[in-house]
Structure 1
Amino acid sequence: MLPRIRRFRNVTLLLFASTALISTNGINPKADQGYPLYDNEQEWKANFPKKIDYCEQLPSPDSLYIFLMAGQSNMAGRGFVEPEDTIPNKRILTIDQSMNWIYAKEPLHFYEPKMTGLDCGLSFARALLDSLPEGISVAMIPCAVGGSSIEKWLYNRNHRGVDLLENYKSKVAFAQKYGRVKGILWHQGESNAKIDQIPAYGQKLDSLIAIFRATVANDTLPVFVGELGQYTQPVDKQQRWDALNETIREVANGDSNIYIVETQGLTHKGDYTHLDSESLRELGIRYAQRYLGMNESLQ
């Protein structure tokens, strides 16, 4: 299946040059890379699960809805994990680093152990269970890696020790043995929100989604694309984020199975880049609402 070619209108930006460094008390100087805003690893991981609960019995394949989580740090998760985020539900599954099925507790991602935190996956699954039939279980498969550009995904480049596209493909192949892939949650773009990269982003996203779907063998697989946040600084950086958001909306306008997940009202954790815990939980709910709003049978 060849990626579709679509022309995107040029995005005109009025940007102001800026080299200012934003400084805030208590912010780790590496926060832009996703490092925790806490004094030490022990404090950051205070509520991480102490025990892994392996699945006692898997649901039947027809009753296991599988969702892939892909993108960069705001999908990989940089939020602080609270005790409420580690309460398991036997209808919500995920995998560990060794590809064992476990009952989901945050954090779900494991590729960047020094930076990982709360993501939106568990809140997404919990929101789905409120509306799905009782016999349905949900599996969240983590594939996101912080700081990854769309080019690295598209051309299967190694990023922070992960061959991005190949890792996605291997997770799909594994998951499809146990259930049905129902959608992809995608949040990425901060690494590509640059003046010279925004005009080509739409075509690259379109091509990558075509590959994602071909891997699942479903050319109408729903893909849920989260907007970049509306909280960054300085002003010219937010303008670039807004322009990239306009580009992904153009992609969605040309594909009835791509759904935009809005970020209006969400807040960052103090670094103007990464969503805070409350916003990540809300983002998961918004992804779920977009899935539940589709015109398809949930049976």
Structure 2
Amino acid sequence: MKKTFTLLLFILSINCFSQENWKLNFPKLEEKASEIPNKSKVWVFIMAGQSNMAGRGFVEPHDTLSHERILSINSKSEIILAKEPLHWYEPNLTGLDCGMSFAKNLLPNIPKDVTVLMIPVAIGGSSTSQWLGDSTYRGVQLLTNFKEKVALAKNYGNIKGIIWHQGESDANAKYLPDYGSRIENLFKQFRKEIGNKKLPIIMGEIGGYSKSNENWQKINSKIHTYTATDKYTDFINTQDLKHKGDFVHFNAEGQREIGKRFAEKYLMMAQ
């Protein structure tokens, strides 16, 4: 009886989170950057992958506090003060991602005159095959959009790295076997477009909470194997982090921790 009551409360709590409530703390004001530093003082990081990079966590008020040294872009490719959520491509789905956490954890460890520019390009549900094929998915032509944002980033700063979280859509019998080779080819394209063969790329493991966990862990094994062959690529562990109730997406606490771990890993790689 107690378990049934607890389950009922859980279901009711999920239903209470209507789309309106989900966006309750989304920022009401967009702030354009009043002054953009010289591009030599702007470090750019690209956020790519699928929904766990695009973000599905619940945004709290403190996630929307801007910082003068953390910038992003809006849907018009204008430079703005970064506030969560950074991704706008899927307005009825987007939530807290790891971008602000990543940038905030970088700031104390990089030169004080450096500004961080976060460029979001992740699209929920996208597979590596769709990225490689430059497919249009959920209204976005994946690789073309990436290239456009790279060109924009080069106008404003120096691209220092890519943080990548993807794999849930490939965790099946059809796509699992060749996941490593597709990642290798895709990252080669990313680096070629950016013009840096040694560009750091950090991959996030997919979670440890899936109802199809065996296949998810096979993706993680592919991630581990690939990063062992590419000295400019590494990964962060996520197996201790929790989902938001859907067994697919990290919760807000997990997203903030992922951002911290991405930052720590980047700082290690940049030494």
Alpha-carbon shift at residue 133 of structure 1 (Å): 1.2
Judge which range, 108-117 or 258-267, deviates more.
258-267
Alpha-carbon shift at residue 39 of structure 1 (Å): 3.6
In the superposition, relative to structure 1, how do residues 154 and 180 fare at CA in structure 2: closer, same or farther (>3 Å)?
Answer: same
Alpha-carbon shift at residue 27 of structure 1 (Å): 5.4
Per-residue CA distance 1:40-97 (angstroms, 9 max, x = gap): 2221111000100100000111110000000000000000000010000000000000
TM-score (norm 1): 0.86
The structure 2 residue matched to 1:243, chosen from 206, 209, 218, is 218
Q: Hey, what does 1:92 align to over in structure 2?
A: 70
Q: Hey, what does 1:187 align to over in structure 2?
A: 165
Q: Give the AA of the match of 1:192.
A: D
Report the number of matched residues.
Answer: 263
What aligned pairs does 1:276-287 form with structure 2 within 5 A after superposition?
276-287=251-262
The structure 2 residue matched to 1:255, chosen from 217, 230, 245, is 230
Alpha-carbon shift at residue 38 of structure 1 (Å): 4.7
Alpha-carbon shift at residue 37 of structure 1 (Å): 6.3
Counterpart-to-counterpart distance in 2, 1:257 and 1:38: 44
Counterpart-to-counterpart distance in 1, 2:16 and 2:162: 31
Work out whether residues 27 and 64 of structure 2, in 8 Å CA contact, stay in contact via their aligned partners in 1: yes
Q: Hey, what does 1:264 align to over in structure 2?
A: 239
Higher helix share: 2
Q: Give the AA of the match of 1:261.
A: I
Q: How big is the alpha-carbon RMSD for the aligned residues of Structure 1 and Structure 2? A: 1.3
SS, match of residue 198 in structure 1: coil
Counterpart-to-counterpart distance in 2, 1:97 and 1:239: 37
What aligned pairs does 1:11-160 form with structure 2 within 5 A after superposition?
25=8, 38-160=16-138
SS, match of residue 207 in structure 1: helix
SS, match of residue 166 in structure 1: helix
Counterpart-to-counterpart distance in 2, 1:224 and 1:27: 35
Per-residue CA distance 1:138-182 (angstroms, 9 max, x = gap): 010000000001101011000000000000000000110110000
In the superposition, relative to structure 1, how do residues 201 and 140 fare at CA in structure 2: closer, same or farther (>3 Å)?
Answer: same
**What 5-or-longer segments of structure 1 have no aligned partner?**
1-23, 29-35
In the superposition, relative to structure 1, how do residues 37 and 102 fare at CA in structure 2: closer, same or farther (>3 Å)?
Answer: farther
In the superposition, relative to structure 1, how do residues 124 and 47 fare at CA in structure 2: closer, same or farther (>3 Å)?
Answer: same
Work out whether residues 27 and 271 of structure 1, in 8 Å CA contact, stay in contact via their aligned partners in 2: no
Q: Give the AA of the match of 2:156.
A: Y
Q: Give the AA of the match of 2:240.
A: G
Work out whether residues 182 and 221 of structure 1, in 8 Å CA contact, stay in contact via their aligned partners in 2: yes
**What 5-or-longer segments of structure 2 have no aligned partner?**
1-6
TM-score (norm 2): 0.94
Work out whether residues 200 and 269 of structure 2, in 8 Å CA contact, stay in contact via their aligned partners in 1: no
Counterpart-to-counterpart distance in 2, 1:72 and 1:228: 11
Alpha-carbon shift at residue 231 of structure 1 (Å): 1.2
Per-residue CA distance 1:217-274 (angstroms, 9 max, x = gap): 00110000000101112xxx10111111011111111110001111021100001110
SS, match of residue 109 in structure 2: coil
In the superposition, relative to structure 1, how do residues 288 and 38 fare at CA in structure 2: closer, same or farther (>3 Å)?
Answer: farther
Counterpart-to-counterpart distance in 1, 2:16 and 2:188: 39
Counterpart-to-counterpart distance in 1, 2:223 and 2:17: 36
Counterpart-to-counterpart distance in 2, 1:92 and 1:223: 20
